[in-house]
Amino acid sequence: MYRLALKMLLGDRAKYIMLVGGLTFASLLMTQQCAVFFGLLSWTTSHMRNMRASIWVVDPKVEQINEIKAMRDTDVNRVRSVTGVAYAVPLYAGVIQARIADGSFKPVQLIGLDSATLVGRPPVVLSGRLEDLRLPHTVMVDELAIERLSLRGGRKIGIGDTFEINDREARIIGICKTDRHFFGYPYVFTTYDEAMQFAPKTRKMLSMVLAEPVKGWTAAQTARQIENETHLKAFTEDEFNKSTIKWFFKNTGIPASFGTTIILGFIVGIVVSGQTFYSFVLENLRNLGALKAMGASNWLLARMLMLQALTVGFIGYGIGVGLTVLFGFAVLKTGQPPFLLPYQLPLFTLVVIIFICMFAALLGIRKIYKLEAAVVFRG
Amino acid sequence: MADTNGNKNGFAVHVRNVTKTFGTGEAQVVALKGVDFDARMGELLMIVGPSGCGKTTLLSVIAGTLVFEAGEIDVFDSPLHRLKNREVTEFRKRNVGFIFQQFNLIPTLSILENVSVPLLINGVGRVKAEKKAREVLERMGLAGRENDRPTLLSGGQQQRVAIARALVHDPRLVICDEPTSALDKDTGAKIMELLRDVARHPDRCVIVVTHDNRVFKYADRMTEMEDGRVHKVHENYSQYEQKGNH
């Protein structure tokens, strides 16, 4: 009977296409929008992937990594003196204007690394040597900086080329790969000492202290110890991630706007598939009544409807997620819009699509349970 | 229960004082008003009467497709009035074959698949069901058309497919609702001959509801209904004709 149920479904080509189309659209909208949303959220914490550290020590009022309040240089030593800290290094992070060859200005994310250890270094160096950052007036830039700091229509800048930061010459000694930042600024890495020269002078210049726990201590234990002894705020990587994302949820309209689109996808899925499947059942009511008269139980007919609904659901889901993956491949090449597809997301969409299908099937099943087999005798 | 061969008083169907109403309050319509009715084994019984007299309602309650309020119905000694819904469904599955006015063939399935349906509902495997369906279709003169869709057949051919579907699982009671009203005279006559042959079986009973007077002559017995009651029972068509009904 299940085979016949599928033939009945596939035989009604228009309804079948409508059902698959509706569920594809719902699945695509939910998965793709969620992936863009997650991608965007991942951009908000890209600093942490571009300057990796176990413990991030910041001003006590800092809530998220993109809003840093400068501290005193002596705070590095205070952190170093805390029990459980293996080492602690200063880090400068600030947005500064860079001037390119044609005189125009471009904002860049300047990162100053501890000169001795280069802790906070970019994860992937594509060309050049990171150690060359110890040479005077040198910087390592990411691929986005190559795009942004090159003259429009001219050749791409590369190793050996220069540009200006705060009226000082910066010479490129390497190119690295970074995760794109939420604000879209290219990363420019240099040493902390050099960053002090590039950045405009203010009373306090230290952005963060990056620290590691000693063996036998967890990052969380050490972070709490730092907080107790210095009264600065110390985050583990995971804590800073969560705190940053929480801040964006609380203080921006991004989750609401994406949430609206995702809910819209869900509603479209429910309405289109529910309505189409219900009308499919209504149009087949005489046939279903005939099956019922011939002795098909309500439960058998319900299982047939569930099979039909799940079949269109899985096909629609497959196409929708497939299109999302294609979209992902396309945007990952260009770098935008943001896109992150964790394995939990397709699973979530699958559960939602199954829910939609079951809801649609339920509408039909309700009709079948109420259907009197005698309907087939009415003219 | 339903599978016993013994029949109450020798009847295949034994209906006593059955009442069925539709709607409530002022809109209430009493379709069957204490109907008494019998059908024998091996006969083709016709239920005739004007539109709205309760023919189809009586057929529906006998077939177990409609719940009735009062009275007793025994079909092959199965007391439908005492069975639960699930048991009635089980009874229909095994014992009743249906032939409908509009054929009710599923247009998206092939003829072979349509005919296999009752066997599949009865839990017979696909291969076995299709083998049996093929045999019945051959008997109906439809060999070679197994893979066609019902819409490609003429009305008469579609009704023959419906008959094949009604008989494929060897039911003892065949219920026919206006089987010829959608067909021309000659095709209708052929269908009725087929049904009469079907009825010529000591373990089977065919009940036909019709107001198509062209086919009355095929009846072994005729039950005339009027206003929700059995008005007269004629032992054969001649008796019905003699009483000036034709």
**Structure token digits, residue A155:** 């050749």
Instruction: State whether A125 and A176 are in the same domain.
Output: yes
Task: Match 């125009």 to its residue by tokens.
Answer: A104
Terminal alpha carbon distance of chain B: 41
Count contacts between A and B (CB, < 8 Å).
86
Q: Which of A190, A206, A222 is the last residue before a domain boundary?
A: A206
Task: Tell me the pLDDT band of B5, cut-offs 50, 70 and 90.
Answer: very low
Lowest mean pLDDT among A118-122, A168-172, B105-109: B105-109
Phi, psi of A205 (to 5 degrees): -125, -20
- Please write the tens of the pLDDT for every residue from A29-42: 888 888 888 888 88
Choose among B93, B104, B109: nearest Cβ to A376: B104
- Which secondary structure element, helix H or strand E, spans residue A88, and what is its range? strand A85-99
Distance CA(A303)–CA(A296), nearest Å, equals: 11
Query: Which residue in A has a C-alpha nearest to residue B210's C-alpha?
Result: A377
Average pLDDT of span B99-106: 82
Instruction: State whether A191 and A287 are in the same domain.
Output: no
Q: Convert A245-255 to b/e letters by CB count within 10 Å (16 or more is b).
A: bebbeeeeeeb
Instruction: State whether A373 and A258 are in the same domain.
Output: yes
pLDDT value at B8 more than 80: no
Highest mean pLDDT among A189-193, B173-177, B210-214: A189-193
For residue B246, the model assigns a pLDDT of 52
Cβ atoms of residues A360 and A20 within 8 Å: no
Average pLDDT of span A146-161: 88
Task: Match 């979209």 to its residue by tokens.
Answer: A327
Sort out which chain A residues have CB atoms less than 8 A from B125's CB and list them.
none
Q: Measuring CA to CA, which residue among B103, B97, B34, B41 is closest to residue B70?
A: B34
A106, part of any domain:
yes
Domain residues for the domain of A24 are 2-43+253-377
**Structure token digits, residue A78:** 């205070």
Average pLDDT of span B56-74: 87
A231, part of any domain:
no
Distance CA(B204)–CA(B200), nearest Å, equals: 8
Q: Which of A206, A231, A266 is the last residue before a domain boundary?
A: A206
A61, part of any domain:
no
Average pLDDT of span A265-293: 80
For residue A213, the model assigns a pLDDT of 95
For residue B34, the model assigns a pLDDT of 86
Instruction: State whether A99 and A18 are in the same domain.
Output: no
CA dihedral B232, B237, B241, B246 (to 10 degrees): 90
Cβ atoms of residues B63 and A293 within 8 Å: yes
CB atoms within 10 A of CB B89: 23
Distances (CA, A) of B65 to B92, B94, B160, B163, B198: 8, 14, 23, 19, 22
Instruction: State whether A269 and A318 are in the same domain.
Output: yes
**Does residue B94 sit at the A interface (CB-CB below 8 Å)?**
yes
Instruction: State whether A32 and A95 are in the same domain.
Output: no
Most B-contacting residue of A294, A301, A369 (CB-CB within 10 A), to test interface: A294
Distance CA(B29)–CA(B21), nearest Å, equals: 6
For residue B85, the model assigns a pLDDT of 84
Average pLDDT of span A169-187: 91
- Please write the tens of the pLDDT for every residue from A309-341: 899 889 999 999 999 999 988 888 777 788 888
Closest CA of chain B from A14, distance in Å: 13
Q: Which of A172, A206, A240 is the last residue before a domain boundary?
A: A206
For residue B2, the model assigns a pLDDT of 36
For residue A59, the model assigns a pLDDT of 94
Q: Do B121 and A295 touch (CB under 8 A)?
A: yes
Closest CA of chain B from A297, distance in Å: 7
Closest CA of chain B from A16, distance in Å: 13
CB atoms within 10 A of CB A66: 20
Query: Which residue in A has a C-alpha nearest to residue B93's C-alpha?
Result: A295
Average pLDDT of span B40-56: 87
**Structure token digits, residue B96:** 């009743």
For residue A175, the model assigns a pLDDT of 95
Instruction: State whether A364 and A282 are in the same domain.
Output: yes
Instruction: State whether A266 and A193 are in the same domain.
Output: no
DSSP A151: P
For residue A121, the model assigns a pLDDT of 92
ipTM of the predicted assembly exceeds 0.85:
no
Closest CA of chain A from B177, distance in Å: 7
- Please give the mean pLDDT across all residues of chain A: 89
Average pLDDT of span A6-25: 86
A125, part of any domain:
yes
DSSP A67: S
Query: Which residue in A has a C-alpha nearest to residue B179's C-alpha?
Result: A377
Phi, psi of A296 (to 5 degrees): -70, 130
Q: Measuring CA to CA, which residue among B52, B104, B13 is closest to residue B211?
A: B52
Instruction: State whether A174 and A290 are in the same domain.
Output: no
A214, part of any domain:
no
- Residue A230, C-beta contacts closer than 8 angstroms, at least 6 positions apart: A57, A75, A78, A79, A82
Closest CA of chain A from B186, distance in Å: 22
- Please write the tens of the pLDDT for every residue from B200-234: 888 888 898 888 888 888 888 888 888 888 888 88
Task: Match 């501290």 to its residue by tokens.
Answer: A71
- Per the structure, the count of domains in chain A is 2
Instruction: State whether A16 and A103 are in the same domain.
Output: no
A163, part of any domain:
yes
Sort out which chain A residues have CB atoms less than 8 A from B117's CB and list them.
1, 4, 291, 294
Q: Do B101 and A379 touch (CB under 8 A)?
A: yes
Cβ atoms of residues A31 and A320 within 8 Å: yes
Lowest mean pLDDT among A89-98, A141-150, A240-249, B178-187: B178-187
Query: Which residue in A has a C-alpha nearest to residue B100's C-alpha?
Result: A377
Distance CA(A261)–CA(A263), nearest Å, equals: 5
- Please write the tens of the pLDDT for every residue from A51-75: 889 999 999 999 988 888 999 999 9
**Does residue B126 sit at the A interface (CB-CB below 8 Å)?**
yes
pLDDT value at B32 more than 80: yes
Q: Do A373 and B66 touch (CB under 8 A)?
A: yes
DSSP A202: -
Task: Tell me the pLDDT band of A177, cut-offs 50, 70 and 90.
Answer: very high
Sort out which chain B residues have CB atoms less than 8 A from A3's CB and list them.
126
Structural domains in chain B plus CATH codes: 8-242 (3.40.50.300)
A330, part of any domain:
yes
Distance CA(B57)–CA(A364), nearest Å, equals: 26
**Does residue B213 sit at the A interface (CB-CB below 8 Å)?**
no
A278, part of any domain:
yes
Give the amino acid at B91: F
**Structure token digits, residue B235:** 């032992």
- Residue B240, C-beta contacts closer than 8 angstroms, at least 6 positions apart: B216, B219, B222, B224, B234, B246
**Does residue B143 sit at the A interface (CB-CB below 8 Å)?**
no
